[in-house]
Structure 1
Amino acid sequence: MMRNGFTLLSAIFLMVLIAILMMLAFSLSSQTTKQTSDLYLREQAQLLAKSSTELALLAISGHDNSKDCIEQINLQYPHGGTVFDINMSLFYFGNNLPCSPNRILDNAVATAESNGTVLIDTIVTYRDIDTNETVRYHRRTIQKP
């Protein structure tokens, strides 16, 4: 009789142990999926921020700065269904620039080479509809167009 009780007890213990291990494996599996998804979105936001900064430099180079300055560029990616919002704010360093006063950071530039230098704040935002989480990536660069 004692032997049957011991066998039953060890079988229950083994089943509980297997259940705990399966719950742990399932939990780790779902965390890994979430981490992979978050990592993918972060990498894509970084690439979009870098590409958008280059696009802003291209827009500044093709713009006639004798009349006004480009102060804000807003994009959405992809065009069909918006997933990422990209907002670029441009601030300038330079003398005699036709920009708004709140967009000129310094107008006492000593060297002619530094005149027209631009500080670009790029913010890429992704809002997940399912989890209501917001992923935001910020990139600040100083460029000479």
Structure 2
Amino acid sequence: MKRSGIAMIMAISVIVIIATILALSLALTSQTTKKTTDLYLYEQASILSHSATEYVMLKLSQANPCSISSINFSYNNIYDINASMSYITVAGSSCDGNATAAGVVYANTTNTASDGTVILDVTVSVPTDRNVTSEPVRYFRRTIQKL
């Protein structure tokens, strides 16, 4: 009789230990999946910021000088991309009329080498309402480009 009682206690102990290990494994797996998804979205946002900078520079080269203050678009209906521009120009250049008309904030300089320079801020984000991630993912990139 005593041996069957000890065997029952040992069986229950083994079941509790196995259940605890399985619960920890399940929690670790779900956490790893979330981290992997967030890392993938962040890296994709980083790459998209480089492409968005090139796209914005193309749009700026097609428009009148200093006439665009921001460009907003989305990619794959997941990523929101927002670009804002601040221009650095020499007083009296072709930017004066366009920048004032567009409401663009820019700085005047006396250095002619800085004429036609844009400070470009690109923000790539994944909002939580897209049902891709439980936390928002955001990547910001600032560059100085010559027009």
TM-score bracket for this pair, using the shorter chain length:
0.7 to 0.9
| Aligned position for 1:135 | 137
Residue 88 to residue 40, structure 1, CA distance change in 2 (3 Å): same
Q: How far off its partner does 1:132 sit?
A: 5.4
What is the root-mean-square deviation in Å for CA atoms of aligned residues? Answer: 1.8
Query: For the structure 1 residues 94 and 138, does the alpha-carbon distance in structure 2 shift closer, same or farther, using more than 3 Å as the test?
Result: same
User: Which residue of the partner structure matches residue 56 of structure 2?
Assistant: 56
Is residue 37 of structure 1 aligned with residue 37 of structure 2? Answer: yes
Please say if residues 90 and 111 of structure 2, whose CA atoms lie closer than 8 Å, have aligned partners that are also in contact.
Answer: no
Query: Number of residue pairs matched?
Result: 138
Amino acid at match of 1:87: N
User: 1:14 deviation in Å?
Assistant: 0.6
Instruction: Specify whether residues 132 and 14 from structure 1 end up closer, same or farther in structure 2 by C-alpha distance, changes over 3 A only.
Output: closer
Deviations 1:21-77 (A, max 9, x none): 000111111111111111111111111111111111122222231xx5211111111
The sequence identity of aligned pairs, in percent, is 41
Structure holding more helix per residue: 2
Partner of 2:22: 22
TM-score normalized by the length of structure 1: 0.85
> Residue 54 of structure 1 aligns to which amino acid in structure 2?
E
Map 1:110-121; keep pairs closer than 5 Å: 110-121=110-121
The match for 2:73 is 75
Question: Which structure carries more relative contact order (alpha carbon 8 Å, separation 6+)?
Answer: 2
TM-score (norm. length: structure 2)? 0.84
Unaligned runs of 5+ in 1: none
Alpha-carbon distance, 1:3 to partner: 2.2
